Amino acid sequence: MTREIRPSLLADADPDAIETGRLLFAQACDFVWGASKLSELPEASLPELAFAGRSNVGKSSLVNALTGRKTLARTSNTPGRTQQINFFNLGGRLILVDMPGYGYARESKTKVEAWTALVRSYLKGRVTLRRVCLLVDSRHGIKPNDDETMKMLDQAAVPYQVVLTKADKMKREELDAVVEATMGALKKHPGAHPEVAVTSAEKGMGIAELRASIAALAA
């Protein structure tokens, strides 16, 4: 049976779920740990939600938009700025995990390989990891290294949701085409969440419904 993959639309969201998400992300959110190697990962306790994606896809900007804070996660126009896995405690109910970006080649090959190994080890072995938000720049769509990451998550039985970022940078018809292509690609991936989130951290687009989806994972 073919799964239905669909875009996440605010008009379709349950108002109670939207409010639950708003209340969750209104809680205090504090940086608690940074790990640059596997041995430095903190003890697993609360449910975790990880943000992964290509370098400069907007992970830190999305974390800031979800929490309503401008400087919780460091943002930069320089790809590859996040060089460790950063853990944030959201109201004692959920750990948000901001991960190093992949796919940027200006760093040394050794450093890129080390980051990649760290990210993959975390994603495949973290028992408290409830979902990965896999961010994809809506202007470029799914790239080969995104597809590689999805296949790895499929094999590891880690659920993930594709989150299209920077949607405000595109014309409506162009965005619709990217959403349709993304939904088509996800039908091949058993670990993919059935909803594709369409967001803009800058304009606030899609943030409320993504909060609602995430709130269902919290302790």
Tokens representing 176?
């619709």
8: confidence class by pLDDT, cuts 50, 70, 90? low
1 occurs within a structural domain: no
120 occurs within a structural domain: yes
91 φ, ψ (degrees, to nearest 5): 60, 25
59 occurs within a structural domain: yes
What is the number of structural domains in the chain?
1
116 vs 52: which has the higher pLDDT = 52
25 occurs within a structural domain: yes
Q: Percent of the chain, pLDDT > 70? A: 85
217 vs 124: which has the higher pLDDT = 217
Tokens representing 79?
């790809």
Q: What are the beta bridge partners of residue 30?
A: 89
Tokens 């950063």 correspond to what residue? 86
Domain extent, residue 63, equals: 6-215
The average confidence (pLDDT) of the chain is 86
60 vs 142: which has the higher pLDDT = 142
Domain harbouring 172, CATH code: 3.40.50.300
Q: What is the pLDDT of residue 10?
A: 45
- Report the pLDDT averaged over residues 77-101: 80
- Alpha-carbon distance of 97 to 115, in angstroms, equals 15
129-137 β-sheet, strand order? 6-8, 195-198, 160-165, 129-137, 48-53, 94-98, 85-90, 29-35
Q: What are the beta bridge partners of residue 52?
A: 134
Q: What is the pLDDT of residue 107?
A: 57
Q: Dihedral of CA 65/118/184/189: which sign?
A: negative
Contact present, 196 and 162 (Cβ < 8 Å): yes
How many other CB atoms are found less than 10 A from the CB of residue 65?
26
Please write the tens of the pLDDT for every residue from 96-134.
999 888 765 555 677 667 777 888 888 888 899 999 999
30 occurs within a structural domain: yes
- Report the pLDDT averaged over residues 148-166: 93
> 0.85 cut: is pTM over it?
yes
3: confidence class by pLDDT, cuts 50, 70, 90? low
